[in-house]
Structures are given as structure tokens and as C-alpha cells.
Chains A and B, each alone.
Chain A
Amino acid sequence: MSAPFRTHQGGRPDRARTLRFTFDGRTYDGHPGDTLASALLAHGVHLTGRSFKYHRPRGILSAGPEEPNALVELDAGPGRREPNSRATMVPLRDGLLARSQNRWPSLAWDAGALTGAAAALLPAGFYYKTFMGPGRAWEKLYEPLIRRMAGLGRAPAEADPDRYAQRYAHCDVLVVGAGPAGLAAALAAARGGARVILCDEQMEMGGSLLSQPGTRIAGLPGWEWLEVALAELRALKVRLLPRTTAFSYGLQNMVSLAELPERAEGPRERLWMVRAARVVLATGAIERPLPFSGNDRPGVMLADAARVYALRYGVLAGHRAAVLAAHDSGYEAAFALQAAGMEIAAILDPRAAPPADLLAEATGRGIRVLAGQGVARSLGGRRVTGLISTGGERIGCDLLLMAGGWTPSVHLFSQARGALRWDAARDAYLPDTAPEAVLCAGACQGSYGLGACLAEGHAAGGGHGAAPGAQPGREPSGMPTAQAVAGAAKAPMAFVDFQNDVQAKDIALAVREGFRSIEHVKRYTTNGMATDQGKTSNMVGLAIAAATLGQEIPAVGLTRYRHPVTPTGFGGLAGRHRGDLFEPIRRAPLHGWAEAEGALFEPVAQWRRARAFPRAGEDLHAAVLRECRAVRQAAGIFDASTLGKIEVVGPDAAEFLERLYVNPWKKLAPGRCRYGIMLREDGFVTDDGVVGRMAADRFHVTTTTGGAARVLHMMEDYLQTEFPELRVWLTSTTEQWAVIALQGPKARTILEPFVEGLDISAASFPHMSVAACRVMGIPARLFRVSFTGELGFEVNVAPDQAPALWRALMRAGAPHGLTPYGTEAMHVLRAEKGYIIVSQETDGTVTPDDAGLSWAVGKAKRDFVGKRSLARPEMRRRDRPQLVGLLPRGTVPQEGAQILASPGARMAEGHVTSAYWSPALDRPIALGLLAGGRERMGQTVYATVMGGAPIAMEVTDPVFLDKAGERVNA
């Protein structure tokens, strides 16, 4: 297949090799080194998409990362569809499949283009004006319609099959941008022995050198110098990262880079998080388009982009070009294109007196220059066919180039909290000072000559002596953009932000409607709010706003650059943390046994806990009832390993706990346990658990499963900041001990034969005892505790040994009816006894008294965390929500249901915290927090039911079973 717009020779692509690709169903060819955009242009394809709002035909505007128009969908198979890819940044590869976006039924014939005809109805801020009513029309009609019309591609529906990597890196110097300035900086830094990382978003390093084959550096042709420089950088162990976009500049020189690695089998993206002692920004500059009617027509392009396509890619973007040159660089582009074989129809220079040397050279080349003239409008349909000059002349062309001056890429510098200063001579904001260790070099600080770029890069890299030499270029000049945009506000379809379809007149309208701050103008018009963050539109929009306000540009201000500067994939940000690696899933040592038994699991914090052990034919409810009955009638075995555990050791251990918990500890004898309650400073319950005193100076503290880390941090915090004088140390032992709970009337009978060195009879090892002993020969800490209301033990052993002990206990217990039970049965059993679960009965606003736990508070204690808050009048109100038992009539209410005083009441007086079918009582039971509940025993209240009649409930004591505690003390 012939590529009619490919030059006969020259450019970077490897013409010996051919790649085939498909765009909108048609197959084309190109070469390695092409981008999708250059390969399309080689075949004369300019029309690549439809615009966001008006569905106007759009073509390729630029040759770089700033591209606002040519956004395409890449399709690499299921789950690999990638919308909004800039065709100018997509390296061509064999089999590439691309589609245009935002068009229906086809790119050439798009139904949405009718909105273009109705453009008068869609002014700036039309969202706020047009779609006001009636009633629910916004959500039913307008929003779905706008969403369908104003698409920016489709996200894939399938799961992403690729892997995404992340990498931290540290260096002395990070250089962003591998153009001449960046290369000089990296060379200087690396030669000085620094650790250097050099990244560049293009597939090939070299930046502007890639489109300047004729230049000479240090006596070598530019491209040869580039090869030599890259070879030296490799030899100096510089990490070279092409295809890598620096998209975010964080605090203390943490710069995030998104790499798209070339190798097909590896990760699709790699996120680099680079901590650099120094950052050199060599990010270049972006050419400004100019607003005139129809400046968005395919075939209207940035002048330098056309030059890049010709010299870097060997592609002529047209046969006959007209150049609108408000800046000298337009002439350079025209001359270069003419030399590459393009006909130059004319240069239109809005300046009354263009520079004499350029005029002379144009004349010498036979190029007509129309001084003092601009473009009134472009001509053509889906491709430009000519223009009408402001002087009224009609000029035929198939390419219309815009040279509106240059905008230094200061985005990353700005994110480094760098201040910008307005430079009137360069008509641009330039980097000023920054609090980070960051330096700029080259075009990103307004230095456009090759010699200056090399010198600044060399200096920024810490280089000594002479920089790589290049001929000093002429100092370019141009018409200030504020002047060049004059008149655009009256021109229809003169676009400023191509991606968001913002016209020059929209910005003028916003100013007329009273918006003064550029931040407000930006939001009202959406100028610069598209995915390109206004890389081509910000300065033009600012110039129009300034001109409309009659102010200078610096008086109008500048919008900020958000993270990410350039869109990046979510995959890289997520990294490995998806699927199985999304979050750590913690499994306790007995998990494997439960899994083999077919247990149902539930997440509790990061843990997975066995919820129930249903037998064949049982549903969850049936399993829970059976497990509960087994515990009450015989014995149950339960994995309590996930409970948090903290070893508190030191001569002041008791004093420390005295201050952290509401309970008194000093008189607790070694070998005894106590149920502890911990408050926050605000007086509300934050955690609870049994604490065993192993020795005078050693406590074994348990916490809730979810509270383990929080409690340890809170303890450490108080120890280090409030009580540093205490001689006590904290060690997490959560995972040092696996915990097997045996609960039920037969628990002692089953356990007793395994225990060595300890008499566990009721008389010598009563409820709330603890001792170190051996169980089945394994060193253990044995607790006599109960969370079921039954005679109970908890055996703490090393995690490696726990499965063997569990299996031995199961075997020995089988004749006694020993039954494994899960967290669901545990919940029911404890509710029957009125034992609270922190974070179920409590919600961060519950005091010990609210929860009916006043008995636990050491009244004689001088102080403990939260004590002062408990003395507040609000905490002593008698109508505070208080824990009560509830006896629902008929059915089990929903946990979380509101409690009403009467069925029709409008005001809730509390809520249901727990509700179950109680096998022991053979009826529904519930716990709840009810205003003044303890004084309402016997009253009937009502639990709300979503869409149904409230459930009547009798208020009762929260202890439903064995109020005297005979079973637990058996």
C-alpha cells in the first residue's frame, strides 16, 4: 500500500520494516518509529474524531502530548480497550486496532453534529441555564442525554487481564524530558558521579533534536550526537526511561512517573515513585493555536507539528499549506516544510511589520507574506480547502498552520509549589522560585535556542566547564497573544479549548456575565478542564479574558495545574493491589481445618473467620441453631485466635493499665483475670477484652479482633506522650498465640485429661482464672473465661501446634458431643447472656453506663482515660440511650431498626443493636439502645420495618439466660 504523503526519504521511522494497523475498520501501513498520528497523516487521514459538545469533525492538531482532538480508542482485545488515547502519543505497532470516538453512526456522518447547528442554544454555562426544569427532568432526561452525547470514549466492560507494576526509586538527580536540555543535564550530573534517572514521555529520547536532523552539536550532526550521548548515559549507569510520563510532583521531590514498557509479556504499566535529591525539569514548550472561525477544521494544525511530521516522521501533513504566523516560529516551519517538498501558499502575519530578516528569506524562497493580515475563517467541510484572510482574500490550501507563540510547560514546576512570573518579552509565565530542590532548563523556562538549552541543561545538571556547543539561534519574537486574539470573541466557532469545545466568545460571555477570577471563568466555561488540562488553551483563554476585561494578563491570574498533569491509567496507580492482592487477607492458624470442614467464612477486619459449620443439608440458620444447642447442652469448640493480644510487662504494668482502663487492676492477683473496658478521652467505649495477670509485672491483655492495632497504638501513644515515666513495655502477641475456646457443660471433662501441671477443677481454677501450664505437652496459657455464659476455657498455644491440639480435642470430645461453632453462634450465645460486642452495641457514643457496665468502673480511681468526660452533665442524663433487652413478638427485627414508642411515632428513641432467634429461649431476642431504657422495663416499644408494620417488643433486662451465673461458675 502506498502512503501518498510520505516523503521519499528522511525521518526517524525504519522504512525497511512495515507495520499494519487498522483505523475505523480500514487497514493502513506504517513503520516502526511512527506514531498512530504520523502513520494516519502519511495516508492523508486528518479526520480522527468528533468534538465533545458540538460533534464537529476534528483532526490532528499537534505532534505531541498536548493533543486535544485526536483521541482514539485502542482495542487490544477483551479488557484491553483503552479510550481517549492521544494518536500523537501512540507508538505504532503491528496489528494496532484503533477507532474514532464520540460519533454515531460513523465518523463521516454523525447524527450528533446536529448540535452544531443548534450551537446558539449551547452557550457558556449552558448546563446551568438550559436544563433547569421541569421537575425531575434533569435526572430522567437531560443527564442521560448529555452523557450519551458528550462522551469521551467507552471504558472496557471486561476485567483487565494485564498486570501493573510499581517501583520506588531514589536518585541524586531526576531529569524530566530528554530533549537537548535534559540530555545535557543528565550528562553533566552523571559525569559528576551522581545517580541519575532520565525520563521522557516519547517512545524515543531526543525531544526537539528528533525533528532537527540538520543541526550540529559539539561538532557532530544532531542525530549522531544524540546516539553518542545516550550511549554515554548508558555507560554511566543512568536509568533511561523512555515512554515514561512524569505526571505528578509531590512534596519533597517525590515525582510520579507512568512508564508504558515496550515488552509485550511484562506489566502493561509501571508506576515509578521517584525520590530525587534534585529535579531538573526540561519539559519543553507547547505551541499556541490561534482563534479564528473554523480553526478546528481537520487540516488546521499547529505549525511546528507539521514541521515535526515532516522532519521526524517523513510525513507531509498536506500538499499546499498556508501559515498563520503570529510568531517567528511560523516562518521557520514554513521554510522547513517548503524544503521538505510542500508548497507554501502564503504566510499570513498579523503583525504590521514582520521581522525584516524573515521577510527577506521568505521573498528569497518565493513565499508570499501577507503582513498585517490574519485568517477570518477556514473553508471546507471535513477537511480544510482554503481560507479567507482578514483582508478578504481567498487562498486555497489543504493545510492551515497556526503559529501563535509558545507556552513553556511549567505544569510540574507549578506542582512543586513553584512561583511563576509573567515575562512580557516572551509573552509567557516562566518559572520563578520554588521551595523544592528543582531547576528548570531550556524551553520550559522560555529559552528556545539550541545553544541556550544545552548550556542551561549542563548547568542544571551541575556541570563544570563548557556545555556541549551549538550555534546560537536567533532570538525569536511574536505578537503578544492578547493582541493576536483581538476580534476572536465575535467570530463564530473560533475555538480555544478544542477538547471541551469552548469558543472564544464563551470566554468573553463569561466575563460579561460577571466572572472576574480566571478560576471562575475556567469553571463556568469549562476551558482547560478537559483531560488535556488546557495545554493548548489556557494561555489563549487567559488572553481573551484579559482583553475582555481590559486588563493585562498577569492581573487576571493563572489557574493551577492539577495532578495528574497528563492523564494516566488507573492500573498503574492500583499496581499489584487488585484481585487476590487487593488487600491482605489474614487467615488464622486453624483456618485450614475450618476450610476442610466446609465452614462458611466472614470478613472481620482483614481476617477471615469461620461463621458457621453447616452440615450436609443445613442452611446457615439451621447450623447456627445446632451449634448453639451443642454449646448449651454439651460443649462447643471455637477458634478465637484472631482476638488481639498485647503483652504488658514491667514494674509499672498495673499502674499503666489502671490509667488506660476504667477498671481497677492493682488488686488483681496474679493468676486472675478481669473484663476490661477502655474509653477514648471523650468517655466513650472504644474497646473491651479480658486481661489476665500472669505475674506481678506481666499482663496478658486481649482486645477485640478489629481493635487490636488501634488499641496497641493508643496504648503506645499514651505511654510515650502522657506517661513516659512508667517503666512498662508493650508487645503485640496477637499472632504468637492461637486460641482454642472450649465452652459448655462438658468443657472441663473434655479438656482435663490434656492439662499437665494444673488442677482445673471448679474449686482450684474458678471462673476468671489464668495459668501457664502444658496442654497435650504443649506450653500453654490457659484461661477460664466465657463469652457464652457456659463453663469455658481458652487455650493459648503456639500457632504451629494449634492444629494438632485442635484435632486431638475434637477426637476426645466427639463422644461428649463436642461441636465446632462459628462466629454467628458465638454472637447468639453471648446475646442470650447480654454480653455486648464493641462496635455492635457501641457506636462511639456509648459510655460504660449506657452499656450497663457501670459496675466495671473503678469508682475510687483518681483518674483514667475518659474519666473527666464521664463527669459532664450530658453523660449523666437519665434519658441517654441505655442498653436493654427486647423481646420481639413474632419475628426477629432487623439490626439497626429504629425503636419507636408507638407504631406511628415520627421520632426514634433508640435502635436495635443485635437481634437473633434464640434457641435457648425458643423465641426472638434483641438488644438495643433505648432512651432512658432502664426505667422502661415492661413497656412495649416498636421496631421499624422497611415497608412493613413495626414489630412490637417488650423492654426487658439484657440478660436473658441464667441471671445468677450458675452455669458459668459450674
Chain B
Amino acid sequence: MHENSVIRHAGITLRALPGMARFALRCAPADAPRASQALGLDLPLAALTASAGAGRAALWLGPDEWLILAEDGAAETLPPAMEDAFAATPFSLVEVSGRQLAYGLSGPGAEEVLAEGCPLDLSDAAFGPGTCTRTLFGKVEMVLWRPGPEPAWHIEVWRSFAPHLHAHLREALLDL
């Protein structure tokens, strides 16, 4: 499928990212340490921030909501680890590995491509390294995450919206 091909233009690269394990984690913020223990990663508690390390990332999407991204094997190992960590404490862990796909957009000025459809301020001052949010690109909802200081963006989108999002990003990139 064309949306999986790598597109390079004006020093910016748009590529489909390989498959990964994903979970929607919900729990009371006070119980976050239990999840951190199971994840081996501090669950971020500050709004719109992500933490990452050791092949895993946790993206804060709401006061009691995180998107967990992990290398492939975690689909089997993470649910029992969470069950153990939470024991009788209520939480919700729902696998969404197949629900969404990911794209990477990187290179100097990549935020200009995103500005074609994303109404947020993506400057360093407003959207620094480690920032993540659920937002829009044109007519499609996405989760946007800037993992580090370099101009590289991680985009999560529901599977059936991915071709539209990719085609829109591609047009915006080629017109830059």
C-alpha cells in the first residue's frame, strides 16, 4: 500500500512506523505508581507529557488516561504484570495494538507540514520535547508526540483513518 512507502521532500521524511504493542490504560492518578511498577517506566502525571525508555513509552492523554506504546512482545507480558501490580485496585487495560497505526515525520521544518492541518502551536516554546497530545490533523483525530529535542514527530492514528491522514500529510509535504 502506498501509505507505507517512505516519502522524502525538502529534507523532511514521512514514513510508516513498524507495528508495536499498544494499550489504553485507565486508572486513578493516585494508583499510577502501580502501573509504573508494571511498566518499568514512570507514568507521567503532568498534562500532555510522555515518558519513554527501554522500548516503552507512556503518553498522558487525560488525568486518568495513558496510551502505552511498547515493543511487540509486550502484548502478552504486560496484561498479567498489570494485573499483579494492581491486584484488587480497579483499573482498565485494553489492548489497542491493532486499532491504530503510526507514522514518523522528521526533518527540519517538519512542524510546518503538521501546521497544514493541526491547529496547535508546535513551536519549541509551546510543544517542547516530551510533549504529547490528542489533536486533529484536518478532518482526522491523531495523537501527536514529540519524543525528543530533534524535529521528529510520532503520529498515532486509527487504522481506517490512516490512508486519509497519510495522503493529506503527503500533499502538504510535497507542497512545502
Contact = CB atoms under 8 A, between A and B. Distances in A.
Interface string B107-137: 0000010011111110100100000000000
A731 B158 CA distance: 13
Interface stretch (B40-48, B52-60, B144-152, B167-175): B167-175
B171 A581 contact: yes
A22 interface: no
A583 B164 CA distance: 8
Contact of B99 (A165, A581, A649, A733): A733
B159 interface: yes
Given A581-B164, A584-B139, 6 more contacts: A576-B138, A585-B163, A649-B92, A731-B94, A736-B94, A799-B159
Interface in A725-755: 727-729, 731-738
A799 B98 CA distance: 6
A168 interface: yes
A647 B167 CA distance: 30
Interface of A: 163, 165-170, 195, 266-267, 273, 275, 575-577, 580-581, 583-589, 606-607, 647, 649-651, 697, 727-729, 731-738, 798-800
Contact of A736 (B26, B95, B116, B172): B95
18 contacts: A163-B175, A165-B116, A165-B175, A166-B116, A167-B112, A168-B119, A576-B117, A581-B167, A584-B160, A587-B163, A589-B159, A647-B94, A727-B90, A729-B91, A733-B99, A736-B96, A798-B97, A799-B98
Contacts of A735: 98-100, 158-160
A729 B86 CA distance: 15
Contacts of A737: 98
A576 B95 contact: no
B144 to A, nearest CB: 13
Given A729-B92, A733-B96, A735-B159, A580 B119 contact: no
Given A275-B121, A587-B163, A731 B96 contact: yes
Contacts of B26: 649, 729, 731
Interface in B40-92: 64, 90-92
Contact of A167 (B64, B115, B164, B171): B115
A939 B158 CA distance: 51
Contacts of A647: 92, 94
B94 A649 contact: yes
A799 B140 CA distance: 20
Contacts of A585: 163-164
Given A588-B160, A736-B96, A170 B123 contact: yes
A607 B160 contact: yes
Nearest to B26: A729
B96 to A, nearest CB: 5
A195 to B, nearest CB: 8
A868 to B, nearest CB: 30
A577 B139 contact: yes
B160 A273 contact: no
B129 to A, nearest CB: 18
Nearest to A651: B90
Q: How many B residues are at the interface, by size bracket?
A: 35 or more
B20 interface: no
Contacts of A729: 26, 64, 91-92
Contacts of B90: 650-651, 697, 727
Contact of B172 (A576, A577, A584): A576
Contacts of B171: 163, 576, 581
Contacts of A736: 94-99
A800 B123 contact: no
Interface of B: 19, 24, 26, 64, 90-100, 112, 115-121, 123, 126, 138-140, 158-161, 163-165, 167-168, 171-172, 175
B46 to A, nearest CB: 21
**Centre residue among A576, A585, A588 by max chain B CB count within 10 A:** A576
Contact of B160 (A275, A581, A587): A587
Contacts of B123: 170, 195
Contacts of A266: 175
B27 to A, nearest CB: 8
Contacts of B138: 575-577, 581
Closest 4 CB pairs of A and B: A586-B160, A729-B26, A729-B92, A649-B92
A588 B140 CA distance: 16
Contacts of B99: 732-736
A587 B167 CA distance: 15
**Centre residue among B64, B99, B120, B140 by max chain A CB count within 10 A:** B99
A704 B79 CA distance: 29
A800 B115 CA distance: 31
A222 B99 CA distance: 61
Nearest to B95: A736
Nearest to A709: B141
B43 to A, nearest CB: 15
Contact of B121 (A170, A587, A589, A728): A170
A165 B171 CA distance: 9
A114 to B, nearest CB: 49
Nearest to A587: B160
**Centre residue among A575, A584, A588, A734 by max chain B CB count within 10 A:** A584
Contacts of A584: 139-140, 160-161, 164-165
A799 to B, nearest CB: 5
A604 to B, nearest CB: 12
B24 A731 contact: yes
A727 B118 CA distance: 34
Contacts of B165: 584
Nearest to A588: B160
A292 B82 CA distance: 85
A92 B88 CA distance: 75
A168 B172 contact: no
A651 B26 CA distance: 13
Contact of A576 (B64, B100, B168): B168
A167 B116 contact: yes
**Centre residue among B100, B116, B165 by max chain A CB count within 10 A:** B116
A774 to B, nearest CB: 13
Contacts of B159: 589, 735, 799
A170 B164 contact: no
A24 B8 CA distance: 45
Contacts of B158: 735
Nearest to A582: B139
A165 B172 contact: yes
Given A166-B117, A273-B119, A586 B161 contact: yes
Contacts of A583: 139
Contacts of B19: 800
A737 B158 CA distance: 12
A580 B172 CA distance: 14
**Centre residue among A163, A586, A736 by max chain B CB count within 10 A:** A736
A331 to B, nearest CB: 49
A4 to B, nearest CB: 43
A167 B122 CA distance: 12
A385 B60 CA distance: 75
A738 B158 CA distance: 13
Contacts of B100: 735
A97 B112 CA distance: 34
Contacts of B97: 736, 798
A525 B160 CA distance: 53
Contacts of B92: 647, 649-650, 728-729, 731
B114 to A, nearest CB: 9
Nearest to B119: A168
Nearest to A272: B115
A585 B159 CA distance: 11
Contacts of A589: 159
Contacts of B164: 581, 584-585
A651 to B, nearest CB: 5
Nearest to B19: A800
